[in-house]
Chain A
Amino acid sequence: MTDLLNELGAEHDQKQFGILDEYSKREIRRAILTAVAVPGYQVPFGSREMPVARGWGSGGLQLTLAVISPSDVIKVIDQGDDQGVNAVNLRRLIVQSTKVHETTTASEASIVQSRHRIPEDGLDEQHILILQVPVPEPLRGVERDMRELARMHAEADYSKMWVSLYEDKVRNGVITQTTGYPCLVNDRYVIATTPIPRWDIPRLDQSPFLTLFGAGREKRIYAVPPYTPVTPLTFEDVPFEVEYTPGANCSQCGSSKSFLVEIPGPASRWVCSDTDWCERNSGKAQ
C-alpha cells in the first residue's frame, strides 16, 4: 500500500513535459489518431487556452506540444520565414518549455510547425508537418448551417463546392481561389488546405511526411497521413495551376522555381517565401 502511494507520488512529482498537462496531451493525441485513421475528417477536440491568442497559431501549437518529445528538433516558420514575429514567439515558447533543440533547416528538424507554407525541400518520412489553420471548414463559404455541413461531409455531397468553383470561373475567367484551395483527400473528404497556397498543394499529394492541421479557435484537427492521395478539385478541362508570375525571380538567390512573394515599394521586387531555402540556394550559387 505504501509502495503504491509512493509510486503514485513519484509519478505525480514528475515534472510535466512542456506546458500541456498529460490529460490534455492524451486528448489531443487521441484526436490526432482519429484524424490520421480517417484522412481529411475534421475531428473536434477540446481546444485549450494557450499563452497565444486564438487565431495566432494556438491550434498548431497544441498539436506540436502534444506530439513533441525531448529528442525532437523543432523548426517554426511564419509565411516561410523563420524570423517572422509569430514564428519567433512560438519557437521561443516551445523551446523554453520543452528544452528541445531548434533549427531552421527543414531536413534537420523532426517537427515543422508552419503558418502558410510547406518548406521548399527536405521533408521526408521522419517529419511531422504541423499547420496552423484559421478556417478548417472548406464549405464554410458555401453553406452556413452546421448541421447541413455535417451532412454534406457525411454523404460526400460536395456539389456546392463545385458550383462555387464554376461561379469563380464564370465571374473571373480563371479560378481565383489561392490559399485554402479545396482538395479531396483519399478520394473521400474535401479539406481546406488553408493556410498553404496552391503552390504547395501538389507536394501534399502522396507526401512521405505526416501533415497535421490544427485549428485552435474552431477546435478541429485533421490530417493528411503519409502517402495519401490529395487531389485539388478541378474541372477536367480547366487544369489546376499553381501561382506563377512570368519573369519573376528571387532578388536574393535568383530562383524562379520556388514560391515567390512580392515586396511592394517604389522598386518592387520578388523574394523566396522560404528564407532558409533561399539562403542555402544563394550559397550554392556563389
Chain B
Amino acid sequence: MKLVTAPEWVLKVENLGKVFGNLSKHGIENTGPEAGTSKDSVTGAIVAAWDVSFEVAAGEALGVVGESGSGKSTVMRCIAGDQAATAGSVKIRTAPDEQLDIFNLSAAERRQLRVNKIAVVYQDPAEGLEMNVTAGGNIASPLTAAGWRNFSAIRGRASELLSRTEVPLNRMDDAVKSFSGGMRQRVQLAKAIANRPPIVLFDEPTTGLDASVAAGVLDLIRGLLEEYGLAAVVVSHDFSVIEMLTTRCIVMNHGRVVESALTDQLLEDPHHPYSQKLVSAARA
C-alpha cells in the first residue's frame, strides 16, 4: 500500500495499532476489511485500528474518513494521548533538532505536550470545555498551564483569540453553557490555538451543528489552518468537511487503512470498493 508521506513531517504515525482485549494467534489476519469484521472470533478482542501509518507536514491537513466504528476516532485518541496504543509509534518534530516519540513519554510529559504542542477539538464542546466556566476562563486554562501569570495579559490574549474566532467580546465573561452550539465550537477553537500548538487534531468538528453554522465554523477552521500553518488531522465521516479542509486523506474500514490518496482524487476516482461505496453514498 502506498504510504502517505510528507517530506518535512511534523507528525508521523507509524504502524499504529490499538486492540481492546487479548488477541488470538491469528487475530490480526482474521480481522479487517477482507474478513469483514474487526472482532477476533476466537477471543472476542476488538482490533480497533491496525497498521495505520501517515505523515503530516506543517500547513497541511490530512483527513481520516470512514464510517462509525471504522477506528478513526481511536487513531485520533491514540495520537492525542487519551488512549494508550497497542503497537506502533507516534512521533512529532516541531523543531528541526527535536523528535519526540509520544509513547516513550511519561504521562506528565504527554500532558505537557497537550498544553503547547498538540491540541484537540472535539465533536462535543463539553469534552473540550468547562461548561460552568466563562469563555475567557476556558482560554485561561491552557494559558495558565503554559505558565501565564499576568491577569491582564491573559485577558488580552483571550480577547484576541475570541475576536479571531468571531465570538462576540461582550460574551467573554459569560459561562460557556449559555452559548449556542456554534459559538461553543468557536470557543473550543480559540482554546485549542491559545498556545499556538503546531499540531491540531479535529474530531468531527462540525458534526452536530446545523448546515449554515457548520459552514461558518469550517470557514474559520480553514482560515486558522492557513494563518497558523498548522499540521492538522481531521477525522470526519462527512466528505464536505474533508473536501473543504484537507489535501490528502486516508480511508479506514474495520480498523485498517484501505486507501490513501489526494482528497480530490479520492472523490473523483476512488479505487477501493469500500471507498467507492462511501463516495457514492455521499454524492447520492
Contact = CB atoms under 8 A, between A and B. Distances in A.
Contacts of B145: 157, 159
Contact of B141 (A154, A160, A237): A160
B173 interface: yes
A140 interface: no
B134 A167 contact: yes
Given A163-B144, A167-B137, A171-B173, 16 more contacts: A155-B107, A155-B111, A157-B108, A162-B149, A163-B133, A163-B141, A166-B151, A166-B154, A167-B134, A169-B151, A170-B134, A170-B136, A236-B149, A236-B150, A237-B150, A237-B152
B245 interface: no
A235 B141 contact: no
A157 B111 contact: yes
A157 B141 CA distance: 11
Nearest to A236: B150
A159 B107 CA distance: 17
A238 interface: yes
Interface string A163-176: 10011011100000
Interface residues of B, number: 21
A234 B16 CA distance: 43
B84 to A, nearest CB: 15
Given A170-B134, A236-B149, A237-B150, A163 B140 contact: yes
Contacts of B107: 151, 155
Contacts of B111: 155, 157
Given A155-B108, A157-B111, A236-B149, A170 B137 contact: yes
A94 B152 CA distance: 51
Range of interface residues on chain A?
A: 10 to 19
B108 A166 contact: no
A235 B149 contact: yes
Interface of A: 151, 154-155, 157, 159-160, 162-163, 166-167, 169-171, 235-238
Interface in B122-143: 130, 133-134, 136-138, 140-142
Of listed A160, A163, A169, residue having the most chain B CB within 10 A: A163
A167 B151 contact: no
A236 B150 CA distance: 5
Chain B CB within 10 Å, residue with most, of A162, A169, A236, A237: A162
Contacts of A160: 141
A162 B150 contact: no
Interface string B154-193: 1000000000000000000100000000000000000000
A167 B150 contact: no
Interface string B41-65: 0000000000000000000000000
Contacts of B136: 166, 170
Contacts of A236: 149-151
B79 to A, nearest CB: 21
A163 B137 contact: yes
A162 B140 contact: yes
A220 B154 CA distance: 35
A151 B136 CA distance: 25
A150 to B, nearest CB: 12
B151 A238 contact: yes
Contacts of A162: 140, 144, 149
A159 B144 contact: yes
5 contacts: A151-B107, A159-B144, A160-B141, A166-B137, A170-B134
B137 A237 contact: no
Contact of A167 (B133, B142, B152, B153): B133
A162 B133 CA distance: 12
A168 B140 CA distance: 13
Given A155-B111, A162-B144, A166-B140, A235 B150 contact: yes
Interface string B89-130: 000000000000000000110010000000000000000001
A126 to B, nearest CB: 37
Contacts of B108: 154-155, 157
A255 to B, nearest CB: 33
Contacts of B154: 166, 235
